[in-house]
Structures are given as C-alpha cells and as structure tokens.
Amino acid sequence: MTADWLRDAILYEIYPQSFADSNGDGIGDLRGVIDRLDHVASLGVDAIWFNPCFASPFVDAGYDVSDYLQIAPRYGTNDDLAELVEKAGERGIRVLLDLVVGHTSIEHPWFQAELRADGPSPEGDRYIWTEELPSEGWAVDLPGTPSWVPSPGPRPGWYLRNFYDEQPALNFGWLHPTLPWMDAVDGPGPRRNVEALREILDFWLSKGVAGFRVDMAFSLVKDYDIEGGLAASTAVWRELREWLDTAHPDAVLLPEGTEPRTGQRLAFDADFELVIWAAHASLFDNGGAGTLPWQSSVEPFFDAAGQGSTETFLEAWQRAHEGHPDRLVLLASADHDFSRMRCGSRGPEQLGAAYTFLFTFGTVPCLYYGDEIGMRYLPGMPDVEGAICNPGYNRAGCRTPMQWDSSANAGFSTADPSSLYLPIDPADDRPTVAAQDGVPGSTLTMVRELLALRRSVPALQGHAATRVVASGYPFAWVRGDSHLMVVNPRREGASVAVPEAAGASVVWGSGVVVSGETLDVEGFGYAVLELAAG
C-alpha cells in the first residue's frame, strides 16, 4: 500500500555533484547538502531524491555503479549519509536514493570476476555473455552503436551492455529463452541478481532511507517480445514488494516512467512522468537539450507562443488512473536528463503559471534543485561524465552548480573555477538564493508561498480529487470541490467561462479577474481561487 505521506508530498531532486561543495574540490558532496538543509527545509518539501551516490568510476555520472553498498568517496562516507538522513529527518524531510539495477560498472567486482573466468559461472552468470555474436534488434541500444561489446579479459566472446560499453547489463533472464546463451527468469544467474537487489534494498532501508527511485525499472527482463519482457520485469518488482510489505512496509518505490499494467498488483507507489517522456514534454519542453530518437518535437503548452495543448498530458493522466483511480502520478519541474524549466527564451515571468500548475494539480510534484530560483539551462556545456549521450543532446546544461550567492563560484565551491564539476552560469544577472531570499515577487518567494499554500489547504494536496474544467488557454481545474486554479502560460491574455467561477475569490496569484462565471487572465497570469460556499 502506498505510504500515506507520499500522497501529499513534494519532492526535491538533488544532483549531488552540483549542489554544494564542502571541501573545496569542485564537486558537491553530502556534507555540503547537510550544510544547506535549512534552505531545503525552507522550501517546504517533504523528501529529497538524490541521483546515484554509490561508488562509481563516473563514466555516466554515477549511473555506473561499482559498489551498491558504499557511498562514493567523493561524496563522503556511509556515515555521512546516515547523518544526512538523521538531520533531514529532524526537519521533517525524508531521503530517497536512486537505484540503478539494469546494469553496473565494468569495475564492479561481480563483472570483474566473470571477466576473469574462462566460461560461465557454475553459480549462474550475473551478466549476459555469448561466445557467438547474436543478431541485434531487441536490446536497449544507443543509435549507431552495437549492443554487444567484445570481452576485454580472459573470458571469450561478448557481453551485453545497456548504454555505454562500461555499463554491462545485469542478467535477469528471459521469459521465453530461445538461444543457448539466454537464461530463464528463474535460472541461477537471474535469481542471484534478484536476491542481490533484496540485500541492497534492505541495507539502505535499514539505515533510515525512505525508499528508492529505480532507474530503468522495467528493462530487467530482455525478451524479444517487449511486452512479455515488461510484464516479467514487473513480476520481479512484485516479488520484492511482497517482501518489503513485511520487512519495510513504509518503503517507497518510484519507477522511471510508467509502470506497465499487467492486471496484477502494481509494485510501485506511483508513475513518474519524467521530462524525457511525451506527457511532460508536451507541457514544458522548449528543446534546449535537444531531442532523443524516440521523442517528437512538440509545441509546449507552457510557452509564450500559446501554440501548445494539454491533450497529451491529460490523456496520460487519464490512462494512469484507468482501473487505478487512486494511482499517484509524479511530475517534475525538470530533472538531470533534460532542459530546465527556464530554457531558451523562457523568462522568470513565465514561471508563475507553470509552478501554479505543478504544485496545485493532482500530481505529486518534484522540484529540481535550482528551479526554485529559476536557474537557467546553459547550452554548450562540456561533455562531463557522459552528459552528451547522443549527438545534439546535451544534459550538462541542466547539471550546472547551484547558485547560492554573489561570492566566488556563486557560493557553490571554494575551488578554482577550472576545477569545478561544471562551469557556473557566467551571466551577471544569474539568479541566486541570496538575491531572492525574502524578496517579494522573486521566484524563490513565489515557490515558498505556493508550497506553504499547498500545505495549508488540504484540497490542494494529493488526497483531493482533480477535475479539469477548461483545457485550453487558459487552463483551469478544480481541486476537492473547494478550490479553482487557472493559468494562462501564453503572452496574450485569455478568458474562459466556467460555472465554478461564480462567486469565487482569488486567494493567491497574479493577473486574474473574476467577472461572474468568467475568468479574465492576463498573459502569464495565474491564480488559486476559493469557490463560493454551497
């Protein structure tokens, strides 16, 4: 059963390399986060989601794990994480970790052991090996590059990778194995990996972590029949969920993307509409980072041109609740894989409408670090730790250091600028926490006000129903039969007549006038309104 706190929660994603550097080496760390917890708490969020913090050679920014049970030394120690969990908890904030389970690093001892072998492990291989190069077509693949990598050690043949060559795919078997090198899902190798997952979950949950966001959660079982593979991958998570129900009943599991509906119990606590997927892109994407092969260019709804549509998002919202009316859907302002909310020509005056939607619609919102001050996506950033995973697609621009104040390196680090993880926004008018703290009308003040309003009004939280009453420009919806929200993300003003507006009063917002049943909304206007009684 979904942990009750999550339904009303607001998450805050921290990319640890870029948040706060406590030791002057140019890379963010856990001690830096501990030192900045008062800022995080001041926002009014309920949980921090960290990108991978485990030991790694950082070919892919920590999404290549070499030890699941150790914090990467550049971030600190396991004790530092325990302290962070404790001190965040004192402020009412839980901690979620990012768990990468589809692959490891080639430096992981599991892979090194199999690489040194002269053939399959008698205990069952943890990775997927073949001595005859198979045909392509079914494996996760970067365009233009093979999925199979020649063995760099004594073991003959090839291993399957997920993305980069340095990320060998873990073996969770096949639902329908058809070739000699394919193991069944209940084979010894796949079962070793499922048991290892259980041990990893237990290790960190026992240290007070509240749960995990799981990377590539539904890519574990790699059948030719992708639908069958998706179903089999969800079966792995159902098995783990049944164990969690007893061992750690309050643990939260969040997937990357939408959990496949198989007619059986859902294993995850929510669906996560991350920014690389269509529903999120149709709202906010203005193309800053580029386009991945499976994406199509769309006019975003939250854009000054006013050429977008809410249709794609609302269809996804409806699908998520078919057969599961209480299903939670997480929606982020941005994340580590794509453009920020402020990208290209989008200015701070456009954020009010976007954040009113994000924090008052019926989703579980996730605020990406820096978005609370309107940090910008920076084009042309260097390819650091695999940030450019596809030609023309650069993730580094949303991973730049947090901008705290006007001191050197924007207060992120005392290191020489040449040693920083990524360059600081060079603009003279770059937004900072210090410049916006306590300033009426600033992005930071707006975010704090919105989150405080959400916390004080039960109808704006996750338990209340959501009903859309106008789906164009402006966009309007009712929460819990007591509050009406309206946003107009385009530059030109817009009006809409909805019966619910009659007698409603503006509680918070800008640029909205109520005239009978009509809402007149200025360009970039937004408001939360209380409906007339009875």
CATH (domain of 177): 3.90.400.10
Give the integer Cα–Cα distance in Å for 468 and 398: 31
Same domain, 169 and 143: yes
Domain count, the chain: 3
Same domain, 228 and 288: no
Asked if 155 and 117 count as a contact pair (C-beta separation under 8 A), the reply is yes
Instruction: Decide if 460 is inside a domain.
Output: no
The closest alpha carbon to 237, from 206, 201, 210, belongs to: 201
Give the integer Cα–Cα distance in Å for 487 and 476: 7
Domain finish residue from 429, 454, 479: 454
Same domain, 261 and 339: no
Question: 438: left (phi > 0), else alpha (psi -120 to 50), else beta?
Answer: left
Same domain, 263 and 348: no
Q: What pLDDT sits at residue 145?
A: 53
Mean pLDDT by 10 residues, the chain (534 residues): 85 98 98 98 98 98 98 98 98 98 97 96 96 65 66 95 94 92 96 98 98 94 81 96 96 95 95 82 83 72 96 95 95 93 94 98 97 97 93 92 98 98 97 98 98 97 96 98 97 98 98 98 98 87
Token duo for residue 456: 């004080």
Instruction: Decide if 217 is inside a domain.
Output: no
Domain holding 383, by residue range, is 4-100+269-454
Q: Where are the alpha helices (DSSP H) in 176-267?
A: 188-205, 226-247
Single pTM value for the model: 0.96
Instruction: Decide if 164 is inside a domain.
Output: yes
Give the integer Cα–Cα distance in Å for 389 and 241: 32
Q: What pLDDT sits at residue 143?
A: 45
Instruction: Decide if 219 is inside a domain.
Output: no
Question: 157: left (phi > 0), else alpha (psi -120 to 50), else beta?
Answer: left
DSSP letters for 9-69: --EEEE-GGGT--SSSSSS--HHHHHHTHHHHHHHT-SEEEEPP-EE---TTTT-S-SEEE
Instruction: Decide if 459 is inside a domain.
Output: no
Domain finish residue from 428, 454, 480: 454
**CATH number for position 471:** 2.60.40.1180
Instruction: Decide if 208 is inside a domain.
Output: yes
Instruction: Decide if 440 is inside a domain.
Output: yes
Give the integer Cα–Cα distance in Å for 379 and 395: 9
Same domain, 93 and 116: no
